[in-house]
């Protein structure tokens, strides 16, 4: 099963390739526990302010015609993206757009803290995220914005890894992505031989944890 890459905006592809965030032809273990040969190392982009700013500008240009008041995203990567997107929307629209984020609470749930709920109530919100694998994180942000009294205008991710399952219906709001990178993932016992024969990558993903569990 070969990689299928469909970039709606070629700039996002160039940015991710520049910082080495797209890894292919390897053997990775994903958060889900499944295995595959493609990995998007989203953390590779965050040390590069110029490239993160460019991603924020792509989000901002895409939604500059909406009446956005606040950009919200889930921590951790979303903290940086929401700030840069709000910055560029502020410049494009000529009014201050706020950037906020949700974070994990002590009970394990997600919530708006630091008084950010007061900045959401009654406001029009753009929800963004770096990657969508299951769509669970952005869906939780959408639900939190609504529960807090905000209005979700749109949801957008930098990359959608699972376009068949992550869509407007599944996240509960109009959904889109800057790019789609679709790659098949297998349960370990179903992994094709040509991938199974490759050493598991322990630098990114959950390969190191997976191998450690095998030695116990």
Torsion (CA) 204, 164, 140, 16 in degrees, nearest 10:
40
Structural domain that includes position 108: 4-210
Instruction: Say if 66 falls within a structural domain.
Output: yes
Which residues are within 8 A (CB) of 89 and not within 5 positions of it... i.e. 6 or more apart? 60, 63, 64, 68, 71, 97, 126
| Nearby residues of 190 by Cβ (< 8 Å), 6 or more positions away | none
- Is residue 176 in some structural domain? yes
- pLDDT value for 8: 53
- Is residue 215 one of the residues assigned to a domain? no
> Which pTM was predicted?
0.86
State how far the Cα of 42 lies from the Cα of 153, in Å rounded to an integer: 25
Give the chain's domain count.
1
The residue assigned the tokens 């803290």 is: 113
| Domain assignment present for 191 | yes
In a domain, 109, yes or no: yes
Supply the pLDDT for residue 95: 96
Residue 25 belongs to a domain: yes
| Residue 216 belongs to a domain | no
| Confidence at residue 88, expressed as pLDDT on a 0 to 100 scale | 97
pLDDT tens for the chain, 216 residues: list them: 344 444 455 588 889 989 999 888 999 998 778 899 988 898 999 999 999 999 999 999 999 999 999 999 999 888 999 999 999 999 999 999 999 999 999 998 899 999 999 999 999 999 999 988 888 899 999 999 999 999 999 999 999 988 888 999 999 999 999 998 877 888 999 999 999 999 999 999 889 998 888 876
Give the domain CATH number at 39: 3.40.50.2020
Q: What is the pLDDT of residue 1?
A: 35
Domain presence at residue 93: yes
Instruction: Write the CA distances from 104 to 74, 108, 165, integer angstroms.
Output: 9, 6, 24
């Amino acid at each position: 099963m070969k990689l299928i890459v469909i970039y709606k905006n070629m700039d996002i592809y160039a940015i991710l390739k520049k910082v080495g965030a797209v890894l292919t032809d390897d053997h990775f273990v994903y958060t889900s526990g499944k295995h595959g040969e493609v990995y998007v190392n989203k953390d590779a982009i965050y040390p590069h302010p110029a490239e993160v700013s460019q991603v924020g500008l792509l989000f901002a240009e895409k939604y500059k015609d909406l009446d956005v008041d606040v950009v919200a995203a889930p921590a951790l990567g979303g903290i940086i993206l929401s700030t840069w997107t709000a910055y560029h929307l502020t410049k494009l629209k000529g009014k201050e757009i706020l950037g906020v984020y949700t974070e994990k609470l002590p009970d394990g749930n997600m919530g708006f803290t630091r008084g950010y709920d007061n900045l959401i109530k009654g406001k029009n919100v753009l929800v963004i995220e770096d990657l969508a694998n299951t769509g669970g994180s952005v869906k939780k942000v959408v639900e939190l914005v609504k529960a807090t009294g905000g209005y979700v205008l749109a949801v957008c991710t930098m990359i959608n890894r699972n376009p068949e399952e992550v869509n407007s219906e599944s996240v509960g709001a109009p959904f889109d992505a800057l790019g789609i990178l679709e790659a098949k993932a297998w349960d370990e016992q179903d992994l094709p031989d040509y991938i199974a024969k490759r050493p598991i990558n322990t630098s990114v993903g959950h390969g190191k944890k997976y191998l450690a569990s095998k030695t116990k």
